[in-house]
Amino acid sequence: MNKQNKKSILKVIICICVLVCINIMSFALIMGNRGECAFGEGGEKGISIKSYIIEGAGYFLSSYSDMLLFLNRVEMSELNGIDYNEMRDLLNKAIEKMEKTKDTYYHLTQTAEFTVYNRAMIFHLLSFDYQGFQKERGFGNTIFKEVASYLRKGDVRGFFAILLAYTDDILRKLYIVKESVDVDKFPDLSTLWRINQGFSKTLLYGQIAAEIFSTFLSQNCK
């Protein structure tokens, strides 16, 4: 009886949490926000997709922030010398968060794979004026065209899969830098440049999609 009561209480708590989440309509704001609107009729899966987008973006931004501090130390090493302990610390933090980003985006792609699309959002993406939007916001061609290549086909799952692939690529390069820094060796500059490019490209890729998704009226995203 006691066990049954406990189970019932747990179920009630979970239901309350789910309802609260739906009510506050949590959105990822910077990367891929409202991507969850492309899926289903709400419910648990829709909420998981929302949470994964927010969590993934949070870890990603934090990892990139640490990476820029690492690059700052690399830059300033020419004036202040090199403190490998500090560099290792910053790099390990960046890697840890990028691993969490990758895990989150993996769960995101898996959940999206098994959740039906929301036709209203997909129709919005299919009929969206990408060219006009690009011009209005002043986006460069390269990254915008890549985002548009997925969204204009209504392929939000493909868009998430690319986020995961980019994250994986950044992580592999971070491990290469780690190999050098772990043995007190100055990291290869071209690898650092490519990592920075990977981070920046991924962030803009997610942000442009967030901006496009946000044009979908919130009342149509429940």
Partner 1 sequence: MVKQNKKLMIKIFIVFFFIIAIEKGIDALIIANRGDCAFGGGGEKEGSIKSYIIEGAGYFLSSYSDTLLFLNKIEMSELIGVDYKELRAILYRAIENMEKARDAYSNLKQMADNTPYNQAMIDQLLSFDYAGFQNEKVLNNTIFKTVESYLSKGDVRGFFTLLLSNSEQILNKLYTIKAWVDTDTFPGLSTLWRVNQVFSETMFFGQYGAEVFYEITGTTKNVCD
Q: Is 166 buried (19+), middle (13-18) or exposed (0-12) by CB count in 10 A?
A: buried
Find where tokens 């290549």 sit: 149
- 218 forms part of the interface with partner 1 (CB under 8 A): no
Nearer to partner 1, 180 or 196 (CB): 196
- 183 forms part of the interface with partner 1 (CB under 8 A): no
- 91 forms part of the interface with partner 1 (CB under 8 A): no
- 181 forms part of the interface with partner 1 (CB under 8 A): no
Instruction: Quote the distance between the C-alpha of residue 46 and its chain's center.
Output: 16
Does residue 135 contact residue 109 with C-beta atoms inside 8 Å? no
Count of chain residues binding partner 1 (CB under 8 A): 47
- Per-residue binding string, partner 1, 3-22, x by CB under 8 A, is --------------------
- Per-residue binding string, partner 1, 28-67, x by CB under 8 A, is xxxx-------------------x--xx-xx--xx-xxx-
Does residue 197 contact residue 23 with C-beta atoms inside 8 Å? no
- 193 forms part of the interface with partner 1 (CB under 8 A): yes
- 68 forms part of the interface with partner 1 (CB under 8 A): yes
CB-CB neighbours of 69 under 10 Å? 17
CB-CB neighbours of 28 under 10 Å? 23
Task: Give the burial string for 80-98 (b: 16+ CB within 10 Å, else e).
Answer: eeeebeebebbbbbbbebb
Q: What is the CA radius of gyration of the chain?
A: 20
- 180 forms part of the interface with partner 1 (CB under 8 A): no
Half-sphere exposure of 17 (CA within 13 A, CB side): 10
- 131 forms part of the interface with partner 1 (CB under 8 A): no
Could you tell me the smallest distance in angstroms from the CB atom of residue 206 to partner 1? 10
CA distance 147 to 139: 11
Nearer to partner 1, 69 or 123 (CB): 69
Could you tell me the smallest distance in angstroms from the CB atom of residue 194 to partner 1? 8
Nearer to partner 1, 17 or 126 (CB): 17
- 147 forms part of the interface with partner 1 (CB under 8 A): no
CA distance 159 to 67: 24
Q: Which residues are near partner 1 by CB under 8 A?
A: 24, 26-31, 51, 54-55, 57-58, 61-62, 64-66, 68-69, 71-72, 74-79, 138-143, 189-190, 192-193, 196-197, 200-201, 203-204, 207, 210-211, 214
